[in-house]
Structure 1
Amino acid sequence: MKSNLRYFIGLLLFTMAFSSCKKSTQLTEDPYAGGKEALGIRFLNEPPKPTYGSVGSQMVFAISGLLPYKDKVKCYMNDTEAEIMEVTSKTIKIKLPVGSSSGGFTIVVDGQIFFGPQFTVSGKIAYDATFKPVIGPNGNVSQIMPLTNGNMILVGGFTDYEKKASLKRPINNIVMINADGDYLPSFASGLGSDGSLNSIARLTTGQYMIGGTFSSYNNRKSIGGLTRLNGNGSLDSTIVEVVNLTPLQPKNSFDTVAAFNGRVTGSVRKLFVYNNKSILIGNFSNYGEYFYERSTRDRKVIGYTPMDMLMRLEANGKLDESYNFNPTTKTSYEKPNGSINDAFMEADGKVILVGSFTRFQGTGVNRITRVDNNGMIDPTFLVGAGADGPIGSIRFNATTQKYIVSGAFKSFNGKAVNGIVMLKKDGSVDDSFTMGTMEGGSVNFSAQLSNGLVIVTGSFNKYNGVIRQGFMVLNPDGTLAAGYNTTGVFQGIVNDIYETTSPQGFPAFIMAGFILKFDNRAVPNIIKVVYEP
């Protein structure tokens, strides 16, 4: 039986082999014929001369084998076609075209592409290498809070900064740095928060309010989404009397808790302070207050009031029932029917809310509204029909007195705006700014600088036909600012921007968020960019 099986398998293999050989003899054409002949063109292992240049300057790249094809050559500086000035047996000289930016140099001959070296197009804006963070925070930065002494507090979702965290001195979601980006260990945050922080605001007392998605700070419990810190970063705490179920242990008659007695069910997205009261915006559904006189050290009694997405708290943490509070239902007024993605508080305490909602407090609003000092819709904010799609961010510049609103919308109050609109102080559209055409993606963040220039980041790769890979600088009218758009690839999400100066006194700005690349280089989640005035 086994011999018959071996015979059958052997016969089958022989038949397959014979059949394969027979078929191979029938091939009369070269299966690899028709490919393009190698042209013998090769970039040499030499840097361009000079190694960087501005628009209009001439550059020489080392390349061999190109001379026979000099009449067929096209060359591109980061996908922007450049003028060829001269071709020799070992070089090609080009002129950097208007609209070119840092990136790769490529040559095309008869449909074949040859990739050359990376090249830097210099301009009026650049990465500030004197800003010291190399690794920076190891996670997302939600907000930069500048201090009067030049230091900054960063909050977000990170557990380290410049590899300075240790068991003795951990870093959790909050850190203080100096103007150069150096870590400052004097900030006494202890264990920090056990969840991400989204927002921070300063009180007139020098203390801070923080908001986010966390339930403890420096391992102190009885916290829900927000709390108050002392000026040195430590938790503002107090000792309270509680119910002692073990009278033989007197220490159980007291507990150390957060001095700010207020919490939310959910998370705080934005937090503002006005007259030492805290205005909270976020994804929450209840306000909570601890009743320590009915609590024990291990079990806290909490009273809840239904409050959706917008509320104001007194300095001690109690709910302010004069703000977005319906005295009949003892709850907040009707909540938005979509998310609130960002907010801005004006100097008089009024707050502008933006997001994906189309109704607020039972009134039709299209993704943007302003609430008065009582938390109710302010009808004097002239946004009209609002946006036809979600709004992601809003920024205000105190010098220009203009708002920049960005998101996934195509029109605002009936005007075509293509993802970014400039608003006047009263909410009406500023027609002096016209957004151009983007290709390949969308806007994630935009803000106007004090000199009028507009910073835009996102996933786009072209603007008005010009290569702009995720980062661009616009004039106040929406056109590309000449000389400010030479940087290469940007990748990441910007959450905040802060204007400052470079050590040499040039204007600069710090961007923070979840940032991977700027001008083709890997960067930390906080960077400094310097520019010419």
Structure 2
Amino acid sequence: MKRYSYLILLLAILVACAKSKISPRVDDPYKEQVLPAIYFNKDGINPTGAKIGELVMVSGKGFLKSKDKLSFLFNGVKAEIVTLTDTSAQLKVPADAASGNVAAQVDQQYFFGPFFRVRGVFEMDTLFPSKVAANGDVEDIIPVENGKYLIVGDFTDVDESGKKGKQLRVARLNHDGRLDKSFGPDNVLNGTNTAVLAAVMLPGNKYLVAGGFNNYEGVNYVNSIAMLNNNGSLAADKIFSPTAKEIIVSQLKGGVSGRINSLHVQADGKILASGFFRFYVQPNYNLVGANGQDSVHLDSIQVNGLVRLMPDGSFDSTYNYDHAMHMGNEGPNGYIYRSLLLPDGKLLIGGSFTKYNGQSVSRLARLNTDGSLDPSFAIGAGADQSVENFARQPDGKIVVVGSFNNFGGLKLPRAARINENGTVDPTFNLGVGTSGYFASIGFMPGGEIILGGAFTEYNGLKRNNLVVLNANGSFHPTYNSMGGVTADKNGNTGFVKKILQQTGEKSMLVVGTFTKFDYRDANRLVRITYP
């Protein structure tokens, strides 16, 4: 044991001696700074915005030293160099460029320069009040009477109205985008306690809204669906409890126990709702507790993400219901993200499910008018990952988007078009597609397709959550120069939730979770003009 102790002591002495011979470094580590081979002047581009094919001048230093390897990129797209000196370069704005930063590239080194706006024909209307729009997510927008719009979401103020805290998640806009202050009187706590996700216009200028809330204007047992009067107040009745106490209740007799994502009103007035819920619920106010006090109980029926209500909100037991078991049929074995009521009364549903009423359907299914599975809808293998959204073209074909890579057994990343019978339309192909996923879709009058989602690239081009395609899925040559939509400060993806075409105008309204469009302030609402 002593021998080991001596060895340890000897090693310690040797290390100490070695340390005493090492001179401490006194050189300033920041004395010799390595300057970049190329740099741009501050505000070193003139003009700061131009159209594709036009000439611009960038200024900086070090351009000639690397001229044989030097490239200039407009948001990742290589530009033609027209003239070059050591301190300036005249460049032609390249095709497929979009708003973003200009950069210089030498081999694998990148030197980032100033911001440049590519001006195009698909542009934000800067006179529209987007900057002061909504202070929270806008999930849906519908046209209503007199050229106005109803918006719903998770906001508490719109248009900096001074009604913050009273404009809760439901608001009406005038045609110019300004808040309609006649909607939701100042003395009413108008709105819900959590997000509203969908809205539908009803006869008589009333509205139907749905989401994940459980009260409206402080009225309880308004379970995820509410009918509103034209001024935004809850369509309500007064009833009396067993102890003769007056109670304000929703005119709709029931709702659901979770979140409604999609809402539809049939021609006969019946209401179809789909989403993330398990039960239809209806409050029973006619109960008395053990001590004689009033008591309320929620009667429930299991329905599994899909339900049809009568116009008064009572349960419709003729839709996908097992009368012997007194509950809904099995329905989907996963979530329904989106549904679409078709002209013939059938319902298209998409989401994360792989079965419907025990039958394989692979994340997309068409239902008959009684809620049963339509076997004539032949999508084959369907989608290998979630279907997020879809929209129907005027010719009856349907464009489906999501996070899938394959659809119907074919390599169709993130988007596919299907015929009315469910078979894949082979004329529609996006190629490599996006680096992320698509979650929304809209059509323009000329057949162009607008896709929104969460992505930074599209077919190798830098694109920010929004892209416009031709009807065959190819990249539109002139509608993609804008810088897309930018995520909000909470990290939401910024993808577009709903695209609305305004009748009679070459413009559209786009809503979502974004805070910028084309790098301009646009708080969840923007108006886009096009030729």
Q: Do they fold alike, i.e. is TM over 0.5?
A: yes
Equivalent residue, structure 1, for 2:500: 498
Task: Give the letter for the 2:413 counterpart.
Answer: N
Equivalent residue, structure 2, for 1:9: none
Equivalent residue, structure 2, for 1:154: 151
Q: Distance in 2 between matches of 1:37 and 1:294?
A: 80
Equivalent residue, structure 1, for 2:477: 482
Q: 1:287 to 1:457 in 2, by over 3 A?
A: closer
Q: 1:226 to 1:111 in 2, by over 3 A?
A: closer
Task: Give the letter for the 1:230 counterpart.
Answer: N
Equivalent residue, structure 1, for 2:279: 286
Quick check: 1:204–1:276 contact (8 Å CA) kept in 2? no
Runs of at least 4 residues off by over 6 Å: 18-21, 29-35
Q: Distance in 2 between matches of 1:109 and 1:181?
A: 47
1:149 counterpart SS class = helix
Cα shift at 1:220: 1.3
- TM-score scaled by structure 1? 0.87
Equivalent residue, structure 2, for 1:243: 242
Q: Distance in 2 between matches of 1:67 and 1:369?
A: 61
Q: 1:204 to 1:88 in 2, by over 3 A?
A: same
Cα shift at 1:489: 4.8
Residue deviations 1:213-272 (CA, integer Å, cap 9, x gap): 11211111232121211122111111223201xxxxxxx343221121112222222221
Q: Distance in 1 between matches of 2:110 and 2:461?
A: 21
Q: Does 1:263 align with 2:260?
A: no
Q: Distance in 2 between matches of 1:458 and 1:283?
A: 21
Indicate the percent of aligned positions where both proteins have the same amino acid.
29
Equivalent residue, structure 1, for 2:490: none
Aligned residue pair count: 504
Q: Does 1:455 align with 2:450?
A: yes
Q: 1:298 to 1:450 in 2, by over 3 A?
A: farther
Q: Distance in 1 between matches of 2:43 and 2:153?
A: 43
2:232 counterpart SS class = coil
Q: Does 1:395 align with 2:388?
A: no
Q: Distance in 1 between matches of 2:526 and 2:284?
A: 45
Q: Distance in 2 between matches of 1:32 and 1:235?
A: 68
Counterpart selection for 2:131 from 126, 129, 134: 134
2:172 counterpart SS class = strand
Equivalences for 1:130-209 in 2 at 5 Å? 130-166=127-163, 170-188=166-184, 190-191=188-189, 192-209=191-208
Q: Distance in 2 between matches of 1:23 and 1:205?
A: 91
Q: Distance in 2 between matches of 1:77 and 1:94?
A: 10
Q: 1:25 to 1:279 in 2, by over 3 A?
A: closer
Counterpart selection for 1:272 from 261, 264, 274: 264
Contiguous gaps of at least 5 residues in structure 2: 1-11, 487-493
Equivalent residue, structure 1, for 2:71: 74
1:473 counterpart SS class = strand
Counterpart selection for 2:379 from 376, 379, 383: 383
Q: 1:343 to 1:68 in 2, by over 3 A?
A: same
Task: Give the letter for the 1:200 counterpart.
Answer: A
Residue deviations 1:290-329 (CA, integer Å, cap 9, x gap): 3334469953233222222111111222211111111111
Equivalent residue, structure 2, for 1:227: 226
Q: 1:431 to 1:34 in 2, by over 3 A?
A: farther
Quick check: 1:396–1:447 contact (8 Å CA) kept in 2? no
Q: Cα RMSD between the aligned structures?
A: 2.9
Compare 422-431 and 290-299 and name the one that shifted more: 290-299
Quick check: 1:295–1:301 contact (8 Å CA) kept in 2? no
Q: 1:20 to 1:441 in 2, by over 3 A?
A: farther
Cα shift at 1:526: 1.4
Counterpart selection for 1:59 from 56, 62, 70: 56
Cα shift at 1:87: 1.3
Q: 1:439 to 1:341 in 2, by over 3 A?
A: closer
1:515 counterpart SS class = coil
Compare 154-163 and 433-442 and name the one that shifted more: 433-442
Task: Give the letter for the 2:53 counterpart.
Answer: G
Q: Distance in 2 between matches of 1:413 and 1:110?
A: 42
Quick check: 2:390–2:398 contact (8 Å CA) kept in 1? yes
Residue deviations 1:123-174 (CA, integer Å, cap 9, x gap): 221111121131322222111111142211111112111332437x711110
Task: Give the letter for the 2:169 counterpart.
Answer: N
Q: Distance in 1 between matches of 2:30 and 2:246?
A: 86
Equivalences for 1:301-320 in 2 at 5 Å? 301-320=297-316
Compare 400-409 and 153-162 and name the one that shifted more: 400-409
Equivalent residue, structure 2, for 1:338: 334
Residue deviations 1:45-66 (CA, integer Å, cap 9, x gap): 4553333222222211223453
1:300 counterpart SS class = strand
Counterpart selection for 2:319 from 315, 318, 323: 323
Task: Give the letter for the 1:180 counterpart.
Answer: D
Q: Does 1:254 align with 2:249?
A: no
Q: Distance in 2 between matches of 1:301 and 1:453?
A: 51
Task: Give the letter for the 1:496 counterpart.
Answer: K
Q: Does 1:443 align with 2:438?
A: yes
Contiguous gaps of at least 5 residues in structure 1: 1-11, 245-251
Residue deviations 1:12-70 (CA, integer Å, cap 9, x gap): 9xx98x9777423799x99899986665x543345533332222222112234534554
Counterpart selection for 1:106 from 103, 110, 114: 103
Q: Distance in 1 between matches of 2:446 and 2:516?
A: 25
Q: Distance in 1 between matches of 2:181 and 2:505?
A: 29
Q: 1:30 to 1:290 in 2, by over 3 A?
A: closer
Cα shift at 1:80: 1.3
Equivalent residue, structure 1, for 2:216: 217
- TM-score scaled by structure 2? 0.87
Q: 1:285 to 1:232 in 2, by over 3 A?
A: same
Q: Distance in 1 between matches of 2:20 and 2:476?
A: 68
Q: 1:431 to 1:44 in 2, by over 3 A?
A: same
Q: Distance in 1 between matches of 2:454 and 2:162?
A: 32
Cα shift at 1:355: 0.3
Quick check: 1:133–1:182 contact (8 Å CA) kept in 2? no
